[in-house]
């Protein structure tokens, strides 16, 4: 089944990726293609779209996978390969991979020769429901996540649930954290359905992804540059990003969704004090997240403060949170002093 979901400046195709890629490329018959992969997607995912690339002029750039490589040195190597390939402003980048590939590949495309077209083909659940939508692009810098970046819309986003079969259980679970987040901030009616899902391998991903996409689509259309309501998407991420950065630097990295799951538990606790969430709702949220992810990792606030102080949403010395008022209802720009933050 193929669905086409319109966002403000581009389309999201939900269905077989080779089919949708072929349809998109029909409008660009002479464009030289540059396909960015990592070690995993080069082997497991590229063959699934190659039928759409026959008789096309394309080059594949393969980088090492994972957040530790979403840095300026990798971006430089990608720009060098783009230059060596002779890409011009009519060329096109196809980012085939998870959030790291999408963020960094889109950033490199948006800055190469002041911007060339790019297509996002997200291959992880995390990137399919979150990172590939909304035009946020960038790299990590000096230990801070997404510290350098731009807003730029892709030509199209192609989402195919078949790619989820290439993921480990841990990667699949990591992506599901963003599905949970979308329900908690703006789709309370879906929460009872999600809490019945314990076996992620046999979930109905097409319908889950479709529902999650709709939440983010509405928010991004209403606020493309994160001036207001789009900040709701940061629920779980203020503390979650700090937790992710802390464990990355400690040599015991967490996956993004694992850190966000912990961030959602901690920020749900803050929501009881500053958002309006009830204690019963907190228990409901925490219990479900812990069933899937286990208890949140133990970390001291003092270890997170250096990252929290650099958060892009902050206003002066106050740290900005998006917190829950109810399951399915949330608010943004809740400004807290460091002394207000308690786990």
- Please identify every residue annotated as catalytic: 114, 136, 178, 216, 226, 230, 234, 237, 241, 256
**Interatomic CA distance for residues 77 and 54, integer angstroms:** 26
Q: Where do runs of H (alpha helix) occur along the chain?
A: 17-25, 39-44, 72-84, 99-111, 125-126, 169-186, 191-194, 205-222, 237-249, 256-274, 279-293, 301-308
Q: Own/partner pairs for 219-227, CB < 8 Å, 24+ apart?
A: 219/186, 220/7, 220/8, 220/133, 220/134, 220/135, 221/7, 221/8, 224/8, 224/134, 224/135, 224/151, 225/151
Tokens 């990667």 locate to: 171
Sign of the C-alpha dihedral computed for residues 217, 223, 224 and 228 taken in this order = negative
Phi, psi of 76 (to 5 degrees): -60, -45
- Token reading at 100: 């790291």
**Interatomic CA distance for residues 257 and 94, integer angstroms:** 24
Helices vs. strands in the chain: H and E counts, helices first: 12, 11
Cα atoms in the 13 Å half-sphere on the side-chain side of 114 = 0
Distances (CA, A) of 156 to 7, 16, 315: 9, 14, 34
């Amino acid at each position: 089944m193929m669905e086409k979901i319109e966002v403000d400046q581009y389309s999201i195709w939900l269905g077989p990726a080779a089919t949708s890629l072929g349809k998109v490329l029909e409008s660009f018959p002479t464009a030289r293609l540059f396909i960015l992969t990592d070690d995993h997607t080069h082997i497991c995912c590229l063959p699934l779209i190659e039928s759409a690339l026959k008789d096309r002029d394309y080059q594949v750039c393969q980088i090492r996978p994972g957040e530790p490589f979403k840095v300026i040195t990798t971006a430089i190597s990608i720009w060098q390969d783009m230059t060596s390939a002779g890409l011009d402003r009519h060329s096109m980048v196809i980012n085939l991979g998870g959030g790291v590939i999408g963020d960094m590949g889109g950033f490199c495309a948006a800055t190469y020769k002041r911007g060339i077209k790019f297509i996002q083909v997200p291959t992880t659940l995390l990137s399919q429901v979150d990172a590939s939508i909304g035009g946020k692009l960038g790299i990590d810098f000096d230990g801070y996540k997404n510290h350098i970046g731009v807003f730029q819309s892709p030509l199209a986003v192609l989402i195919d649930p078949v790619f989820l079969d290439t993921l480990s259980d841990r990667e699949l679970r990591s992506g599901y954290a963003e599905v949970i987040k979308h329900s908690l901030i703006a789709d309370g009616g879906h929460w009872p359905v999600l809490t019945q899902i314990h076996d992620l391998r046999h979930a109905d991903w097409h319908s889950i992804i479709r529902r999650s996409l709709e939440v983010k689509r509405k928010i991004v259309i209403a606020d493309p540059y994160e001036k207001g309501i789009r900040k709701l998407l940061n629920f779980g991420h203020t503390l979650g990003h700090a937790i992710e950065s802390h464990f990355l630097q400690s040599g015991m990295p967490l996956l993004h969704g694992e850190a966000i799951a912990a961030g959602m538990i901690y920020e749900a606790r803050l929501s009881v004090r500053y958002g309006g969430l009830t204690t019963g709702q907190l228990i409901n949220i925490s219990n479900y997240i812990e069933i899937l992810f286990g208890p949140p990792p133990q970390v001291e606030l003092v270890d997170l403060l250096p990252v929290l102080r650099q958060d892009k949403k902050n206003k002066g010395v106050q740290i900005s949170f998006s917190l829950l008022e109810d399951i399915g209802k949330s608010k943004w720009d809740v400004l807290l002093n460091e002394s207000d933050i308690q786990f």
